[in-house]
Structure 1
Amino acid sequence: MTQITDIDHLYQLRASLHFQGKTIVLASGVFDLLHQEHQKFLTQAKAVGDILLVGLETDARVRQMKGEDRPLNPLSIRLANLAKLNLADYVFALPDNFGHSKVRQDFVLKLHPHILAVSDQAPYFGEKQRIMKLVDGQVLIVHPYNPAISTTKLISKKQT
């Protein structure tokens, strides 16, 4: 069963998971309107490890990335909807300042995941590889990006 948690709890949990020999997979995104590509991505991310942690961008960060009219669903709803899918072990909110490289690096250094699961169109791929090397982890493309299905496309279709 998926648990909604916070970053501090994950930091505390990390040592226990590593001690148990669990492979920790980290994924992140907006997950505004959940669709089949989200489900495929998360299913494939879960398949490459033992524990799947999914970080969601905050509402403020989504507005920075996608515009003032997004997200359609507030963070609390997005977390609850993702938890209902029961694909991740833990879902949590990323920091508001997650757009800064240093914040992302510090987060990974403290969490120490083994695998960062991404799609083949993930932004900052080189930076993600560099950061994951600092913890002897890897960036793993677990799902091809499908440009035909995205939240932005779904919103556009509804408006026409």
Structure 2
Amino acid sequence: MSAKIIPRPEVCSLGTQLREDGSRIAFANGCFDLLHVGHVRYLQAAREQGDVLVVGVNSDRAVTALKGEGRPLLPAEARAELVAALESVDYVVVFDDVTAGSLLRDLGPHVHCKGTDYTEETVPEREVMKSLGGVVRIVGDSKTHSSSASVRSVTLCTRCPQ
């Protein structure tokens, strides 16, 4: 397992340490079930918002709640390791909620980055960030890539006659 992957209980102390070091903390989160180029661009753009990028990866239970039965395709540990392998990512934490509010409160980032399928007004954690004195930024390329669409496409192809 990558040294970039930290246990959920260590997030609070990580945030404290990074702030004491004077680092600007950027945070991004997602399911990352079937990592694709859109995810890579999103995380690269998120990294540009801070000195350190911490990425939250939804647990298997949370992904099922968000995406439905049959998801995730990859277990949380594998998804976290794939995200951790990206150069733009400094730390990864798996979290068990459908939104990142609790994780944000513990980490205390300066910037919460979401993809272009959101607006600053539709980010579920916007009030949490406001209460922390942080900001929400919409980053990455336009939402032209989708793990869910890829899964549907692969599922349809496997049902086609050979």
- The TM-score, its normalising length taken from structure 2, stands at 0.86
Greater Rg, structure 1 or structure 2? 2
What residue ranges of structure 2 are gaps of 5+ in the alignment? Answer: 158-162
Higher normalized helix content (fraction of residues): 1
Residues 116-155 of structure 1 aligned to structure 2 (within 5 Å): 116-122=112-118, 125=122, 127-146=124-143, 148-155=144-151
Shift of 1:55: 0.5
SS in 1 for 2:138: strand
Q: How many residues align?
A: 154
Contact 1:2 1:87 in 2 (8 A): no
Cα pair 1:2 1:91 within 8 Å, conserved: no
In structure 2, what residue type is equivalent to 1:154? S
Please state how far the C-alpha of 1:129 moved relative to its aligned partner: 2.0
Residues 58-137 of structure 1: pairs in structure 2 closer than 5 A: 58-95=59-96, 98-99=97-98, 104-122=100-118, 125=122, 127-137=124-134
Q: State the distance in 2 between where 1:7 and 1:82 align.
A: 16
Partner of 1:55: 56
1:38 maps to which residue?
39
Whether the 8 Å contact between 1:2 and 1:89 is mirrored in structure 2 is no
- Which of 135-144 and 79-88 deviates more? 79-88
Name the CA distance, whole Å, in 2 between partners of 1:88 and 1:136: 23
CA RMSD of aligned residues (A): 2.0
Identity in percent: 29
Question: What TM-score does the superposition give when structure 1 sets the normalisation length?
Answer: 0.87
Moved more, 125-134 or 136-145: 125-134
